[in-house]
Each structure stands twice: as C-alpha cells, then as structure tokens.
Amino acid sequence: MIATGGTIASTPEGAGLAPTATGRELAEKVPLLDTLCELDFVQPMNIDSTNMRPRDWMRMAHVIRKAYARYDGFVILHGTDTMAYTAAALSYLIQDSAKPIVLTGSQQPMASPFTDAKLNIYQSVLYACDEESHDVSVVFGGQVICGARARKQRTMSFNAFVSMNFPPLAYLRNDRIVRATDPHPEPRDQARKPRFYDDLDERVIVLKLTPELRPSIFELLKRDYDAVIVETFGIGGIPAYDRSYQEAIFDWVDSGRTLVITTQVPEEGLDLGIYEVGHAYAEKDGILTGDDMTTEALVAKTMWALGQTHDPAEVARLFYQPIGHDRETR
C-alpha cells in the first residue's frame, strides 16, 4: 500500500482539511482488510493531490519498480482531484504489468462519519488480490476503470469517477468482483515482464478554445512549452473567420514543437474531417489527434512520448500506439 495523502488521509487543520494520516493508520480503520492479504506500507509523500506533480508520478513509479518482484499487487491511496492524471501517467510509465496497480481514494476523509474511504480501500485491495487483475486501474465507488480512461466527473458524490468512452473493467458488489468482459481469453502470463520508463517531458500545456481567444497565445507559449494540447469546440471546430488560427497552429508545428488536437466535449471523441473548420488540420503533417482519449491521458501520454524522443515521426508512433485501452483501435 503506497500512501500519498489526499482527502482520504485528511483531518481538520487551521485553514481547512489537510492530509496527516498515514497509510497504516488508514488501513487499520478498514474492517476485514487483514483477512484479504498481508499488507506492507510505504509513504513516499503526504500531500493534497492538487500539489501532485510529474516528479511525484515518477516517485510512485520508482517505488513500484523497486518493489515489483517482492509483491503480488500495489494499492495507491491518492487524492481524487488529480487521480486521473496520476493513473494515466502510471499507465505509460509502467506498461504490460501482470500485477495490478490500483489507485483509490475517497470523497470524505476517513475520520468523517459518512466516509466512503473504508469501502473504497477494502474493494481496492480485494481487486488487487484477484488473480485476473493486472495493469493500472482506478477502483472507486464500486467500479474498476482503466487507468487511462478515468475522469473525475463529480466533486461531492461518492460515484465521483467515470470511465470515458470505454466500458468499466468490472463492478464491485460488496466483496464480489463482477467483470464486465473477459480481459484474458488465454491464461494470464505470470512471467510477463513489465516495461518501466524513467523520463517525462513536463513542458506540456492544455489550451481550451473559448470565443475570441487570440491565436497569438501560441507565440507566447513557445518559451515555456514543447507541446500544446488544444481542446477544440465540438467534434473538432477551430475558428476560421480569418487564417490567424491556422497560421499560428501551423507555425507551432513547423517550429518543431508538438501539437495535439482534442475536443473539450468529454464523450464520443474527435473527428476533424466532418466540418470545414477542422478539415485543414486533418491534412497537416505533424498535428496529432486525440480521437476518443481523455485530456488527462493526452497530457500524460504526450509527456511520456516527448520524454523518450523529440523526433516528430517517433513521437507520432508512440502517441498513436494504443496503451492500456487509452484510445480506440481502428
């Protein structure tokens, strides 16, 4: 159990809730948890997940890599606000894991009389103990979601997370796992070797289009960023009332930087070929399309791809390679 802080570990402090409880203290409050398996604990940080950064994703990946041979599975206690980013990042930093890496947290602190923390921890460990579980996932509110498909959809409700554009892997009914599909048509290869990665490029930003956003923003971003993920309107609309957006975006790509186009609409994805206002970008070499991926996964995958190479062709190859069910395969 890798404890990192978050609401689940928080107690009232002078200026509001702040993470103080350790992973061991949290586990001790969960009934019947000790009947599932033997747990060891590590606490690489104890922070509000708002303060989670790519360097912290790397710390978690390093903890898992160092301990991988000694354990059957890993459960990460994490704040909910940036959990989807961390789950996506770990999906790229640790690929093809035959062992489960499960993230969970809670909407209410463990100390709250109405907490969801106990059931989320119990079901996360239950799922991590199951022989069919593998790779990175989020277990929350009775659902198991692929790490690269999770999104926090609600700020207060216990069913905070949804699986975007991909069905949940399983549902948890008290102490029972109901798998939605059979992820292993053949026996799982216990000897499968995971692939660990050690590099990320943090210079990635998300730019959400709004009416009258000035395309000169791209020039201002050049100093600090290597990649921009543009959240377009609808299915892929970029303003075309003059050529200023096209010129700014093409200049960004021609300067050797990375540009990813996605949609700010959460469900069903992108298709640049439908409307004239998006068609020009579908034919431009060097522009990557997010299709039905989540913005959280796009941020993490772009950081990962650029951490391996800055060659545009190789970045594109890595970006379009499906990893952990992160994008529709065509």
- Which residues contribute to the annotated binding site? 49, 80-81
Q: What is the C-alpha separation between 20 and 43, in angstroms, rounded?
A: 11
143 strand-pairing partners:
140, 171
* Tokens linked to 316: 């594109």
**Rg (alpha carbons) of the chain, rounded to whole number:** 20
Residue 302 and residue 204 in contact, taking contact as beta carbons nearer than 8 Å: yes
Q: What is the C-alpha separation between 4 and 79, in angstroms, rounded?
A: 8
3-state SS, residue 74: strand
Extract the runs of DSSP E, i.e. beta strands, from 265-311.
287-289
Q: What is the C-alpha separation between 152 and 290, in angstroms, rounded?
A: 19
Residue 309 among the catalytic residues: no
Residue 42 and residue 23 in contact, taking contact as beta carbons nearer than 8 Å: yes
Catalytic one among 7, 86, 289, 294? 7
Residue list, annotated binding site for substrate:
49, 80-81
Catalytic one among 4, 80, 232, 295? 80
Q: Which are the contacts of 198, defined by CB distance < 8 A and separation ≥ 6?
A: 58
Q: Which are the contacts of 9, defined by CB distance < 8 A and separation ≥ 6?
A: 3, 19, 20, 21, 22, 23, 26, 46, 77, 109, 110
Q: What is the C-alpha separation between 15 and 34, in angstroms, rounded?
A: 35
Stretch (H or E) spanning 108: none
Residue 7 among the catalytic residues: yes
Q: Which residues are catalytic?
A: 7, 80
